Amino acid sequence: MLVIEAKNKSGTLITVKYAKEQGKKLFCLPGNIDIKNSSGTNKLLKENAKLVTNLEDILVEITQKQDSIKNESEINSEYKKVYDVLTSFPIHINEICKKVGTSIAEVNQIITMLEIEGLIKSLPNNEYIKG
């Protein structure tokens, strides 16, 4: 989740709370300390949100492999067909369906299991990446 601006008491901070509960990574763009709309964002940065100054800051973070990820050879063969079409660059779910030649319902089910296992990550706009 990327936070651009947030006041100390805002709907954005409520959304951040839920994102943290779901284990989502939190990225924040630092703001001017004299602006009210930056106070919440700057507070999140003090609380260990990832500082972002450009797109690469986010891409580097989300494409890094986690140590806890299983060896690819341990992936269920049913899930492997979807996992194999994913890369470190975002791919839309419709493209995944085309590449594996199966329904969106089946791909959604597999994607959910791969996410639970920590093998892939969900991005905005129904896009997914490995790791």
DSSP class per residue in 13-57: HHHHHHHHHTT---EE----TT-GGGHHHHHHHHTTPEE-SSHHH
The helix (H) or strand (E) run that includes residue 64 is none
The ranges assigned to domains in the chain are 2-63, 72-130
**CB–CB of 131/63 below 8 Å?**
yes
CB 41 within 8 A of CB 31: yes
**pLDDT tens digits, one per residue of 22-54:** 878 899 999 898 999 999 999 999 998 999 998
AA identity, residue 4: I
pLDDT recorded at residue 73: 65
Q: 72-130 has which fold?
A: Arc Repressor Mutant, subunit A (1.10.10)
The one-letter amino acid code at 102 reads T
Top mean-pLDDT range of 2-11, 16-25, 51-60, 71-80: 2-11
The percent of residues above 70 in pLDDT, for the chain, comes to 91
